[in-house]
Amino acid sequence: MRRHEFQPGRLIAGLVLLLAGVLYLVETTGEADVPWYAVIPMTAGGLTLAALVGLVTYAVRRDRRDRISESNDR
């Protein structure tokens, strides 16, 4: 199997959506009363954090790739 690069933004997005799903599952089973106004901002904030982490990761990898190509050109 071909290896792929680690993408922390996608990891954060997956974990946040998994947590939101678990909270709704807990509410459905009647274990706890989770208000919607707690889950929606948590999900939106988590997806925003994931987007920022993805942008930072992209910028760091692009900068690293540019430095390597500059050193090979000399």
Per-residue pLDDT of the chain (74 residues; tens, 9 = 90+): 778 889 999 999 999 999 999 999 999 998 888 888 889 999 999 999 999 999 999 999 888 777 777 777 76
Q: Is there a contact between 53 and 9 (Cβ–Cβ < 8 Å)? A: yes
Q: Does the CA dihedral 14-19-20-24 come out positive or negative?
A: positive
User: What is the pTM assigned to this prediction?
Assistant: 0.81
Task: List helix spans (H) across the chain.
Answer: 8-29, 36-73
Tell me the residue type at 1.
M
Helix 36-73 to helix 8-29 angle, to the nearest 10 degrees?
Answer: 170
CA 68 to chain centre: 27
